[in-house]
Chains A and B, each alone.
Chain A
Amino acid sequence: MYRAHVLVCGGTGCTSSHSPEIIDALNEELKAKGLENEVQVVRTGCFGLCSNGPIMIVYPEGCFYSQVKVEDVPEIVEEHLLKGRIVKRLLYSETLTQEEIKPLNQTNFYKKQRRVALRNCGVIDPENIEEYIAVDGYQALAKCLTELTPEDVIKIVSDSGLRGRGGGGFPTGRKWSFTAANKADQKYVVCNADEGDPGAFMDRSVLEGDPHCIIEAMAICGYATGATEGYVYVRAEYPIAVKRLEKAIEDAKAYGLLGKNIFDSGFDFDLHVRLGAGAFVCGEETALMTSIEGNRGEPRPRPPYPAVSGLFAKPTTENNVETFANIPQIVLNGPEFFNTIGTETSKGTKVFALGGKINNTGLVEIPMGTTLREIVEDIGGGIPNGRKFKAAQTGGPSGGCIPEKFLDTPMDYDSLLKIGAMVGSGGLIIMDDTSCMVDIAKFFLKFTVDESCGKCTPCRVGTRRLLEILEKITDGKGTMEDLDTMEALCYYIKDNSLCGLGQTAPNPVLSSYRHFKEEYIAHVRDKKCPAGVCKNLVQITIDPEKCKGCSACSRKCPVGAISGKIKEPFVIDQSKCIKCGVCIETCRFDAISRK
């Protein structure tokens, strides 16, 4: 029996900022102080507040230590764990008030969140199946197998209003019922863990922090749809997730929660892990199945839909990680638990990966319908350096941007679609007024151009030509006709591409063109980049009035473009300048600017 538990985040973010070393140091230090039988160290999944990692929570006090270093460990053990004195300097600033320590769930970052999919992340040891069981794990599966018919299960999922969290937003219960309706000698359940949107990592966090809930959900899906085998297709770039998932599957088998005759119900379910090699297109369900089959990961035309002919040409249900993560809770607590959260057409919660120009970057799970403003201003803690919000990109390279005037838009499937954006897989990148929207569109398009599988013409060649037009525009060589061609090409690619990757690839261009047309026109007609980002359209100049002639900029300039006499104004040779901006950062007199 341990009197105190120290939870240390073992997610990918904190792992890369040395949380494993912190855990080692903790164990050593506890042993040295003879506390190893009183204090338990638990490596958990992600807490979400990644910008403040490595993160450590000490219970029973619930002290949230952030940005912990290995050197801090002796102090934490000596002061807190031995003497009961909280190390205030390490507390997450928001939890430290004058009179007392504020519980974590009272902080801005957490108080508007509602954790369903992520409920066990940062709470349990993902490598310990018994901890998962202790938090009601596998009870939903037990309930299905011992009390419910497959039809009952599908009804519960349907009634919950859960929609696919991978991007499409298709009603999950309906998807299951399609597969259930098809008779076949073999059916499959596939979990799409090939999370590929730049910046999105909720699926990784669930697999790292709560792998058993995916196993449980897939078994439930198998029971509901008549499948006895499942595959988790996970990116090879997620080694921690893979390791924990494999351990979880092994443990579940050892506990008889996977395999033959689970809960003596006659239901068999087996699970396999397949690693993806990092192709974005393999997140598309038919490409993913083609890849599992051992072929080059390319999409196939639909129909036939996977519910009819999916993996190995058998009826298959494919859901993404976050969708599955909701299932045990829905089954256990009933559909009302879920459909009372969210909006009319978008039930439950959604995890967003908050990134870009925002103070609290990390993973947030919010009720559907929370406004973008609440996410940015409350949960995210606003824009750094007092800059102004310009737009948010949702849905990654398949999504669109949301300009400031739509800050009060509820984040749900339909509201976002209406303004040309999408929930997508939940990437949420915040941009401030230093971001050029044409450049951002180009960035996302470049991603899809690189990731196009090359099967169909519109995506293989069309997206590349679209990118070339954007490059022409940001190089200052665009014409007004190019804008027309660009728009026409966008619609052509959307209408003609074989799969979702191509069909959504033009979205960042179309939505930024819709909301920031004047910015595009400025690039074309005025040959100016209003945000000062597009290198070929900006000049960096030194204001002779402000320049003190200190030569600091000249010394930092990597290409020797700045010259002058000490104590006289310096000048930049535009033919040499590469517009890297180092001089601007160097100048202490605010004399250099980008225009």
Chain B
Amino acid sequence: MANVNIKINNREYSVPAGISILEAARLAGVEIPTLCYLKEVNEIGACRICVVEVKGARSLVAACVFPVAEGMEVQTNSPKVIASRKTTLELLLSTHKKECLSCVRSGNCELQKLCKDYGIEDAHRFDGFRPKYEIDASASHMYRDDEKCILCRRCVAVCNKNQAVGVIGANDRGIDTHIASPYEMPLNSTSCVSCGQCITACPTGALSERDDTQKVFDAINDPEKFVVVQTAPATRVGLGEEFGYPMGSIVTGKMVAALRRLGFDKVFDTNFSADLTIMEEATEFLQRFTKKENLPLITSCSPGWIKFCEFYYPEMIPHLSSCKSPMGMFGATAKTYYADKMGIAPEKIFSVAIMPCTAKKFEAERHDHSAIKGIPDIDAVLTTRELARMIKKQGILFNALPDEEYDAPFGLGSGAGTIFGATGGVMEAALRTAYETLTGESLNDENINFTDVRGTQGIKEATYNIAGNEVRVAVASGLANAKKVLDMVKSGEKTYDFIEIMACPGGCVNGGGQPIQPASVRNNVDIRAERAAGLYRDDIGLPVRKSHENPDIKQIYKEFYGEPGSHKAHECLHTGYTVRKKY
């Protein structure tokens, strides 16, 4: 599109026509504050913090949604603008539960930062009627405190637009407006899929993960418990952000060191069980593919996706892989094989999972298919954020830690396991194994990268010719994209053999349990791409890049599971699903 000439703060610029004043200002090196704006997700001009003066306009305009036009003259910092923004902040504060000292988001709160930037002297200036709400702690993965909500509706937008779930919205009106489910239902009574995308979209402490850190501290402090921990692929590329590392940094070694210092008895890697998942799932795929049965096979690693399928596409359940997620496979293996090997009673093992995900908290509570009846595979799930909180609480100087190695026997994961954290990673890992199994040939450094299924776009498709077979695959991340793919499959518009679905846009790197980046970052940096790049670098650097070549995997099949898809494997590593009613 052509450029237009505009003036921002009396300086002339030529900017692309049609972009917003906000974007134009950024090109001009001027930051306009925002609260409700999330690029391409929530462009509603509601909070009014981004107002600017446009010459000739009747009133101030919202820079986030107002397009530039030829000859436009914008003032982003006039006294009127500054005074207006200040009043907006003061008004927001007047309905805000100002418990900043005890708030989980203190220090990482967009409202708090703006108040500081704008020098709010009296946080109580407009105090008056403030509606009171109960905290909704009904769901297994999160809390909602509407008294901290500033009604930016970013959560509503991601739930509706990105995730096609839409279980929250604005209820009531005027000052009583609040975010809730229809008919004020508690969240756990709705078809919420627990993905936690709303939490990472929230600028304040209104939405937060259920905090399970105390439960884990208690287990660590219990001399009777043998506490083992596993760390999911995406946590190693997320955790660093909590400690000032640039986005995409891999901090595996320091994370392991920190976990040891927190007092975990053994520190293991979910990458190992990701490899185990590939062994089982690739086998399952090859079986179904050969028999042309229940195709497409759809991955089952993402618990948000599983819940979505159970609520919204129950007719697709037969297509789901029966494999437990890597977390679940690890939990099952720890309480059977490992307990046996170490001579520890399974009920004494307390199994903790560090996950980039809030839905994993829900997954851990699905006890119906645990490896040992009556004993959960996983005892506690902590998000990446909660782990950071524990590290900070215990005074561990993360940045000063040495890099340490995982414990044996589940300490070794392949590159295929590590890329599970990015959208397309599970597909690529499975393809690496399926290719070699079907062709009997070995992939080299050249052709091991299945780049067609990489990248942050919501839907990716590819067709591979493997040993004379055409394998049609699709990868979707973000449930709205998943919905599109499923609808196309259902209508017959598309035919696939294998589909990878991740609930969160971009996959686990952008999971609902990952460190929260403010909108000012999210609007300008693709955090999905940055974090995924870290994982792909990690993959290249690892000695083993294919799941079936992981020596620990070979060992465990030899010692315990026999072969992929064996009876034993089915008992421990596979699961089943339930049809769920929406309301």
B395 within 8 Å of A by Cβ?
A: no
Which residues, 24 to 72 on B, are CB-close (under 8 Å) to A?
44-49, 51, 59-60, 62, 65-67
Taking A303-B66, A453-B173, A456-B47 as contacts, is the C-beta distance between A492 and B129 under 8 angstroms? no
Q: Does B88 contact A (CB under 8 A)?
A: yes
Cα distance A450–B47 in the bound complex, in angstroms: 19
Residues of A within 8 A of B172 (CB): 454
Tell whether, in the assembled complex, residue A460 and residue B151 are in contact, meaning their CB atoms are under 8 Å apart. Answer: yes
The answer to whether A498 and B60 have CB atoms under 8 Å apart is no
Q: Are B48 and A451 in contact (CB-based, < 8 A)?
A: no
Q: Determine the distance from Cα of A502 to Cα of B515 in the docked complex, in whole angstroms.
A: 37
CB under 8 Å from chain B, chain A span 420-465: 449-458, 460-465
The CA-CA distance from A482 to B72 in the complex, in Å, is 37
A463 to B175, CA, bound (A): 9
Q: How large is the interface on A (under 10, 10 to 19, 20 to 34, 35 or more residues)?
A: 20 to 34
- Report if A296 contacts B (CB, 8 A): yes
A452 touches B94 (CB 8 A): no
Residue of A300, A449, A503 with most chain B CB atoms under a 10 A cut-off: A300
B367 is an interface residue with CB less than 8 A from chain A: no
Binary flags per residue of A159-200, CB closer than 8 Å to B gives 1, else 0: 000000000000000000000000000000000000000000
Assess whether A495 is in contact with B80, with CB atoms less than 8 Å apart. Answer: yes
Report yes or no: B174 in contact with A457, Cβ–Cβ below 8 A. no
On chain B, the residues within 8 Å of A450 by CB distance are 174
Q: Judge if A494 is at the interface, Cβ distance under 8 Å.
A: yes
Flag B214-239 by CB within 8 Å of A: 1 or 0 each.
Answer: 00000000000000000000000000
The chain B residue with its CB closest to the CB of A498 is B45
Contact pick for A461, options B62, B80, B126, CB 8 Å: B126
Instruction: For the complex, give the distance between the alpha carbons of A488 and B91 in Å.
Output: 13
The majority secondary structure among interface residues of chain B is loop
Counting chain B CB atoms within 10 Å of each CB, the highest count among A279, A451, A488, A495 belongs to A495
A464 to B177, CA, bound (A): 12
Given contact pairs A465-B94, A498-B46, A452 touches B173 in the complex (Cβ within 8 A): yes
Contact of A301 among B45, B129, B150, B173 (CB under 8 A): B45
The total of interchain contacts (Cβ-Cβ below 8 angstroms) comes to: 103
B302 proximal to A (CB < 8 A): no
The reply to whether B129 and A496 contact each other, CB–CB distance below 8 Å, is no
What residues on A are CB-neighbors of B59 within 8 Å?
Answer: 494-497, 503
Complex contact B175–A296 (CB within 8 A): no
The answer to whether A498 touches B177, judged by C-beta atoms less than 8 angstroms apart, is no
Which of B80, B129, B169 is A296 in contact with, Cβ under 8 Å? B169
Q: In the complex, A463→B95 CA distance in Å?
A: 13
Q: Mark interface residues in A491-509 (1 if CB within 8 Å of B CB, else 0).
A: 0101111100001000000
Q: Is the CB of B91 within 8 A of A458?
A: yes
- A344, CB-defined interface residue at 8 Å: no
Per-residue contact bits, chain B 147-182, to A (CB 8 Å; 1 contact, 0 not): 000110000000000000000011011111100000
Min Cβ gap B370→A in Å is: 42
A171 to chain B: closest CB distance in Å?
16
Contact pick for A495, options B67, B84, B128, CB 8 Å: B84
Instruction: Tell me, yes or no, whether B575 is within 8 Å of chain A by CB.
Output: no
Chain B residues with CB under 8 Å of A468's CB are 128-129
- B87 contacts A by Cβ under 8 Å: yes
A303, A457, A497 interface centre (most CB from chain B within 10 Å): A457
A498 to B46, CA, bound (A): 7
Query: What is the CB-to-nearest-CB distance from B282 to chain A, in angstroms, rounded to a whole number?
Result: 45
The listed residue (A454, A457, A462, A463) touching B47 by CB distance below 8 A is: A457
Residue of A nearest to B60 (CB): A495
Does B92 touch A at the CB level, under 8 Å?
yes
Q: Identify the B interface with A (CB < 8 A).
A: 44-49, 51, 59-60, 62, 65-67, 80, 83-84, 87-88, 91-92, 94-95, 126, 128-129, 150-151, 169-170, 172-177
Q: A462-B91, A494-B59 are in contact. List 19 more A-B contacts (CB 8 A).
A: A281-B173, A296-B170, A301-B45, A301-B62, A454-B172, A454-B174, A454-B175, A457-B49, A460-B177, A461-B94, A462-B87, A463-B174, A464-B128, A464-B129, A465-B91, A468-B128, A468-B129, A495-B84, A496-B48
| 16 chain-A/chain-B pairs, Cβ below 8 angstroms | A303-B66, A449-B175, A454-B172, A454-B177, A455-B177, A457-B88, A457-B151, A458-B48, A460-B151, A460-B175, A461-B92, A462-B87, A464-B129, A465-B91, A489-B87, A498-B45
